[in-house]
Chains A and B, each alone.
Chain A
Amino acid sequence: EPEVTQTPSHQVTQMGQEVILRCVPISNHLYFYWYRQILGQKVEFLVSFYNNEISEKSEIFDDQFSVERPDGSNFTLKIRSTKLEDSAMYFCASNGQGYNEQFFGPGTRLTVL
């Protein structure tokens, strides 16, 4: 069964460093998303991406964040200069069309020291 994959599973970085979180969505999907979940809190939407451009972004997704689909398979989230409060689980998700089921990846746990 096709699934969304994410690497790495756990990333530890120093405050101020750049990190790139990687995702491989399901191959025939068209819509891609990043979410984050701070430990013990609810999932929060970061950004949606369609047709090689950002569709929507939340207030969390400021200038420190960027997304890219560098090739036909990967979808990346870059945090330019990490802060302590960026520590969270980051989930990538994808779906085919409209209201179709969104498939989430297993997440990358980012720890900023």
Chain B
Amino acid sequence: KNQVEQSPQSLIILEGKNCTLQCNYTVSPFSNLRWYKQDTGRGPVSLTIMTFSENTKSNGRYTATLDADTKQSSLHITASQLSDSASYICVVTPSGGSYIPTFGRGTSLIVHP
């Protein structure tokens, strides 16, 4: 069964600090991996999309990395802001017949002033 595990479950950091969120997956064969930001009570917003051949993708202060061999991805947030407080969700889409994505449970990030 395809699984996406994220860690940590929650994280509290001070404004201005950096942080890294982890995503491990078992989805295979693999098509793409996406990171989303979800504010409470809102729909997810796409941050990055990486195919199996990409190692890194940046979007402003967000940088995602992918190691398809070890089936791991990370999302690094630089110089955190209060508005970064949200849930960050890793989503992996398979290939080879089914394209039903598997969502992780998310990492809840709280940025304190």
A: residues with CB less than 8 A from B are 4, 41-45, 48, 55-56, 58, 89, 91, 93, 99-107
Smallest Cβ distance from B54 to chain A, in angstroms? 11
CB < 8 Å neighbour of B46 from A48, A103, A107: A103
How many pairs of A and B residues are in contact by the CB < 8 Å rule? 45
Contact indicator B49/A106 (Cβ below 8 Å): no
Residue pair A101, B100 in contact (C-beta under 8 Å): no
Q: How many angstroms from the CA of A100 to the CA of B51 in the assembled complex?
A: 11
Contact B44 A43 (CB under 8 A): yes
Most buried by B among A43, A91, A93: A43
- Alpha-carbon distance A76/B19, docked complex (angstroms): 39
In the complex, A53→B104 CA distance in Å? Answer: 28
Chain B interface (Cβ < 8 Å from any Cβ of A): 31-32, 34, 41-46, 49, 51, 89, 91, 98-101, 103-106
Q: How far is the CA of A30 from the CA of B99 in the complex (A)?
A: 16
Residues of chain B with a CB closer than 8 A to A104's CB: 43-45
CA distance A42 to B106 in the complex (A): 7
User: Residue of B at shortest CB range from A9?
Assistant: B41
Q: Determine how close the nearest CB of chain A comes to the CB of B17; give it in whole angstroms.
A: 27
Besides the known contacts A101-B46, A107-B41, 10 further A-B residue pairs in the complex with CB atoms under 8 A apart = A42-B104, A42-B106, A43-B91, A56-B98, A58-B100, A93-B43, A99-B31, A105-B43, A106-B42, A107-B42
